[in-house]
Amino acid sequence: MERREQKQQQRQTAKEVIAANVQHLIQQLEQGHSEMLTAYLPP
């Protein structure tokens, strides 16, 4: 069971990381700039 708990923790951690990145992206967009999007969009 211990291995299963570790996987569950890893999944939760991955969800937290994704949520934090999405939140950061939203904040950048609200401020009118996003380095990440700028890197993918043509000038």
pLDDT at 43: 66
pLDDT at 4: 73
Q: 2-38 as b/e, with b when 16 or more CB fall inside 10 Å?
A: eeeeeeeeeeeeeeeeeeeeeeeeeeeeeeeebeeee
pLDDT at 10: 74
The residue ranking higher by pLDDT, 43 or 16, is 16
Whole-prediction pTM value?
0.54
The model's pLDDT over 5-41, given as tens digits with 9 standing for 90+, comes to 777 777 778 899 999 988 888 888 888 776 766 777 7
pLDDT at 1: 53
Q: What are the sequence ranges of the domains in the chain?
A: 2-40
